[in-house]
């Protein structure tokens, strides 16, 4: 079950998706880059740590000119 989902769009094109959800004993952030099809997974011991990572990633994407919803 996805707890948090963010989509980054720039110039009308989807750049990537961030998903944050509970894994087995940890919270996982999944980053999917649409241009390359690459997927990365980051595990955090607590949900607040994972949410903070997502917030910082969203801020970086906004600085790069992306709209994040």
pLDDT in tens, 17-66: 999 999 888 999 999 998 888 999 999 999 999 999 999 999 999 999 99
What pTM does this model have? 0.85
Torsion over CA: 65, 43, 40, 17 (sign): negative
Strand partners, 43: 28
- Total structural domains in the chain? 1
Query: Around Cβ 64, how many Cβ atoms within 10 Å?
Result: 10
Give the span between the Cα atoms of 18 and 16, in whole angstroms.
7
Measured in whole angstroms, the distance separating CA 42 from the mean position of its chain's CA atoms is 10
State which residues form the domain around 16. Answer: 2-68
């Amino acid at each position: 079950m996805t707890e948090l989902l963010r989509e980054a769009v720039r110039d009308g094109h989807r750049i990537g998706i961030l998903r944050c959800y509970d894994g087995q004993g940890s919270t996982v952030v999944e980053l999917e880059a649409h241009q390359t099809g690459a997927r990365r997974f980051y595990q955090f011991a607590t949900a607040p740590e994972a949410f903070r990572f997502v917030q910082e990633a969203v801020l970086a994407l906004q600085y790069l000119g992306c709209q994040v919803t």
